[in-house]
Amino acid sequence: MRTILILGDGAEERAWAEWLRGRADLTPIVASDPDEGLSTPNLDAAIVGGPADARGEGLRRAAADGLAILALHPPGPNADAYYHVSMSRRETGAVIVPDMPLRLHPGVARLREAIANEELGAFRSLRLAVPASPKEDLTRVGFARVVDVVRALLGEIQTVTASGDPPGAAPEHELIVQLRDEQGRRAEVRVSTEPADAALLVVVGSHGSLALEYDPSFESPARLIRRLTASGEDQIECLDAWDPRAAIFGALGAARGSAPSPSLLDGARAMELAGAVVQSLRRGRTIDLHHERIDERTNFRAVMTSLGCLMLVGFLVVFSASLAGRALGFDWAVYLAYLIPPGLVAFVVVQLLQLGIRSGETEREASTAKPSGGG
């Protein structure tokens, strides 16, 4: 019997608790306070939810205990919660999987094969239309929850152009995001509060299209709709019922000793893209994304660069104080300048430590976003 901690008592957390109770080999323990929940002996895994502004602390605490963690997504307003645990998970052995199961859907696998094998001819576009509740944040919640499947099908996104209804940084009725990957392939994500029975993920090629029509709650079976330009007829294939919780929980269990999918990086990327959408909405322009992979050695160099700048300013202050003190009659102030050479030697010695740091890549990648000249 495995014991699973659930942090939080919202609708998502309660649904997970109900699902776990239906498994004979799993025992859920629900707690709102991380101190209370993580003190439970013999925990096997944790599902970290709770209020958006508290999920980061729950993730940090659970990762520090080295647990297998399913992180309810999004973890907050940005990717910081994922970044803060990206290094500690390596030290403690924690495994963290964001709750983004759509990429694991059998229908998505079929779409991926259609793109790779060019079953529909040359790729033209990818379209995703999903309904959202009227009170939902369309950008940092609605969009952030579904954009991962675009990355799973196309790869890294390079540019983002967003528009909304009403205009501004917080659309209430509809959000439309145009994305392009590193190869220039185009995708569109539409999140709308208009009533809809199903979400639609469509791959369009030069010879036709293949669409995955699915219930956003996954309570009803999905279906694949293939339409070829030559015949103009729809070929409909009904898929078997699919349990997203079983799929993502299985991914968490399989992640021990292997790279998880979706990974912590996938979750961080989704939040970075949501942040880029906010920038695009505010500025009314296309946002270019630049991703830089960061390993431990690069992290060390970044820290040392900042430290070097601080030391330079400090040396200037000390040297100026030495000259000013001597001019004012404080002869002992001249000895302040003697602190500078030992400080430089210590800095050089610390710099040599990077030779002993492994250069293996971590899950964390830094992204910068800047407005492009395009509109």
Per-residue model confidence (pLDDT) at position 355: 55
CATH 3.30.360.10, domain 105-243+251-285, yes or no: yes
Residues 13-32: what's their mean pLDDT?
Answer: 94
Q: State the CB neighbour count (10 A cutoff) for residue 299.
A: 15
Residues 340-363: what's their mean pLDDT?
Answer: 66
Phi-psi category of residue 98: left, alpha or beta, with phi > 0 → left and psi -120 to 50 → alpha = beta
Q: How confident is the model at residue 326 (pLDDT cuts 50, 70, 90)?
A: confident
Query: pLDDT for 34-62, tens place per residue?
Result: 889 999 999 999 999 999 888 999 999 99
Beta-carbon contacts of residue 369 (< 8 Å; ≥ 6 apart): 160, 272, 275, 276, 279, 287, 288, 289, 290
Per-residue model confidence (pLDDT) at position 369: 53
- For residue 71, the 8-state DSSP code is E
User: CB–CB of 177/151 below 8 Å?
Assistant: no
User: CB–CB of 44/4 below 8 Å?
Assistant: yes
Query: Which residue intervals of the chain are DSSP H helices?
Result: 11-21, 34-38, 55-64, 80-86, 88-92, 106-117, 144-146, 148-154, 244-254, 264-283, 296-327, 340-352
Cα–Cα distance for residue pair 243/245, rounded to 1 Å: 6
Cα–Cα distance for residue pair 132/153, rounded to 1 Å: 22
Per-residue model confidence (pLDDT) at position 356: 56
Per-residue model confidence (pLDDT) at position 357: 53
Q: Where are the domains of the chain?
A: 2-99, 105-243+251-285, 295-366
The amino acid that residue 49 corresponds to is: G
Burial of 257 (0-12, 13-18, 19+ CB in 10 A): exposed
For residue 193 the two structure tokens come to 């509060």
User: CB–CB of 100/282 below 8 Å?
Assistant: no
Query: pLDDT for 220-249, tens place per residue?
Result: 999 999 999 877 788 999 999 999 999 999
Per-residue model confidence (pLDDT) at position 1: 62
Crossing angle of helices 296-327/340-352, nearest 10°?
180
Q: How confident is the model at residue 363 (pLDDT cuts 50, 70, 90)?
A: very low
Q: SS3 for 128?
A: strand
Q: SS3 for 294?
A: strand
Cα–Cα distance for residue pair 261/108, rounded to 1 Å: 14
Map tokens 């019997």 to a residue.
1
Map tokens 């939040």 to a residue.
271
For residue 37 the two structure tokens come to 């929940």
Cα–Cα distance for residue pair 89/98, rounded to 1 Å: 14
Per-residue model confidence (pLDDT) at position 98: 96
Cα–Cα distance for residue pair 9/47, rounded to 1 Å: 11
Per-residue model confidence (pLDDT) at position 362: 41
Phi/psi at 307 (5° precision): -65, -40
The candidate with the shortest Cα–Cα distance to 126, out of 201, 229, 183, 184, is 201
For residue 329 the two structure tokens come to 């009659």
The candidate with the shortest Cα–Cα distance to 112, out of 65, 173, 80, 154, is 154
Q: Which CATH superfamily is domain 2-99 in?
A: NAD(P)-binding Rossmann-like Domain (3.40.50.720)
- The helix/strand count (H/E) of the chain reads as 12, 15
